[in-house]
Amino acid sequence: MTGLEQYHQDALSKLRNKELLIGDAFIDGVWVSKEKKFPVYEPSTGTILGNVSNCELADFQKAIESTESVQEEYFLSTTGAQRGALLRKWNDLILANQHDSKSIIFAVILSLENGKPYAEAFGEVAYAASFVSWFAEEAPRAYGHTIPSATPNTMVSDVREPVGVCGIITPWNFPAAMITRKVAPALGAGCTVVIKPPSETPYSCAILAKLAIEAGFPPKSVQVCPTKDRKAATELATNPLVKKISFTGSTGVGKMLATLAAGTLKKVGLELGGNAPLIVFDDADLDVTIEGVIASKFRCSGQTCVCANRIYVQRSIEKEFTKRLVEAVSRLEYGRGLDCTTTQGPLVNQSAVDKVATHISDALAKGAKVEIGGEAPNGAGYFFPPTVLSSVPTDALVTIDETFGPLAAICTFDTEEEVIKLANDTEFGLAGYLFSKNIGRCHRVAARMKVGMVAVNTGKVSATEAPFGGVKASGYGREGSLYGMEEYQVIKAITVGNLHR
């Protein structure tokens, strides 16, 4: 057995509950093993982790019809409090399977299929559960209003109802949390769902579905259709029984799905690509800043839509900032997700590695300098070392296009006005970061950044309670937070007249 095979064996043997590595679809309340399967690769080794059922158009249609057949009954037969209690049970089951004293289950599978370091995978399972727990609390609080009527003897009120069947399409970078951030509010509101999980990381989705059914949700309320057949998946955007489509992924696919969804006027929620600016002013606390840059830039090896993509540093502190960032980056260790020293996992596939290399060579050709990292190693797995480039010109490809990899590109600026223009000079508007000790400047610049989320003096912008979403080509709709459930609801106004006759 080669070293890689041994590693693979050891990881799989850690899966005490092998039942959680499920390669089936979940349609019409039963697990279905399709004859046609697609391979799922482990990014740490490039080897096949397993083969998963490849759903076709008829499977999507069956899943949609099946979940539609139970949606109204599910909503009418439960109160918000009861749906909240089901979510609470689901949350508890997710956390119970995150880790136990003998072995580690959900987080190991997540790390294997995505490649992220075990600590990050463990954290993601908790992050995924936090949305379930949050919406367990929100479900009983779907308040409406009573509205003073302008007509005598009349009462007006509004109530919130579920939009209906929801199509859910998510990406591979957060195989669990992107699903619960959508499915928990949908189920809490009284909707039912058909999920098309990412084909790179379908196993976490299957675990979540299994645990949701174990928690007591009606078996047909959650359906899972893994597929490599993108055309079949677009059924979620065109089928008239689907009333809402919620998508997280690239801007191009999001636009295409929104266009298709317009045919049946579905509600649409889009969490799309980013190109986050991170601004460091000369009065910033550099310890806080470096910690923030590492957290923002290198989370999930740079593969999050909110990762800092362009780092703008005020000219007078560029040298000191670069020195300190290089020191911090030199302490990161890239390697296989389940190796205990790893802080940076592999990228998702070879084309992700190639994209980082392209951004580096473009920046170098335009005058940038490699401070650390810079070249992909040979060997198995899709690795790229954490890299810092300095003197990156503001027209380099990396400032225009989201790298989605571990490349910190440092550009310099002189004035506040100049950097606000640079930060906003992008079609995207998801997250933005700024570091400064001047409170007036923090508020002033935050107000002018054209993004959906601003982080000030921290690299952490994502939290269950904070509205997550973008503006411009980064999409629309908000997830998590007090707004997340209304994305899955419609408002019905009820007017009762002639009260005194």
Ligand X SMILES: NC(=O)c1ccc[n+]([C@@H]2O[C@H](COP(=O)([O-])OP(=O)(O)OC[C@H]3O[C@@H](n4cnc5c(N)ncnc54)[C@H](O)[C@@H]3O)[C@@H](O)[C@H]2O)c1
Name the residues that contact ligand X, by CB under 6 A.
Answer: 169-173, 196, 198-199, 230, 233-234, 248-250, 253, 271-274, 305, 402, 404, 430
| 164 and 244 Cβ atoms separated by less than 8 Å | yes
Nearer to ligand SSN, 193 or 305 (CB): 305
The residues that touch ligand SSN, with contacts defined as CB under 6 A, are 173-174, 304-306, 462, 468
Beta bridge partners of 250: none
Residue 481: is it exposed, middle or buried by C-beta count within 10 angstroms (0-12/13-18/19+)? middle
Name the minimum Å distance from CB 270 to ligand X: 8
Min separation Cβ 199 and ligand X, Å: 5
DSSP 196: E
Location of structure tokens 């158009």? 57
Give the three-class secondary structure for 280.
strand
- Residue 221 or residue 301: which is nearer to ligand SSN going by CB? 301
Element (H, E) at 32: strand 30-32
**271 classed as catalytic:** yes
The answer to whether the CB of 260 falls within 8 A of the CB of 254 is no
Among ligand X, ligand SSN, none, the one that 172 touches (CB under a kind-dependent 5 to 8 A) is ligand X
Using alpha carbons, list the distances in angstroms from residue 128 to 169, 277, 278, 367, 495: 16, 26, 26, 42, 40
Nearer to ligand SSN, 80 or 480 (CB): 480
> Would you state the structure tokens that stand for residue 161, as one six-digit string?
């109802």
Catalytic residue among 42, 68, 235, 271: 271
Are 459 and 129 within 8 A, CB to CB? no
462 contact, one of ligand SSN, ligand X, none, CB 5-8 Å limit per kind: ligand SSN
Using an 8 Å Cβ cutoff, are 23 and 36 in contact? no
Q: Which residue's beta carbon is nearest to the bound ligand X?
A: 249
* Tokens, residue 425: 């000079």
Residue 462 Cβ vs ligand SSN, minimum distance, rounded to whole Å? 3
The whole-angstrom separation of Cα 106 and Cα 21 is: 9
**Beta bridge partner(s), residue 53:** 37
DSSP string covering 222-269, please?
Answer: EEE---S-HHHHTHHHH-TTEEEEEEES-HHHHHHHHHHHHTTT-EEE
Cα–Cα nearest to 325, from 378, 398, 392, 418:
392
Distance, in Å, from the CA atom of 251 to the CA atom of 158, rounded to the nearest integer, reads 35
Amino acid identity, position 378: N
Bridge partners, residue 113, by sequence: none
Residue in 119, 118, 128, 233 with CA at minimum distance from that of residue 175 = 128
Q: Which residues are catalytic?
A: 271
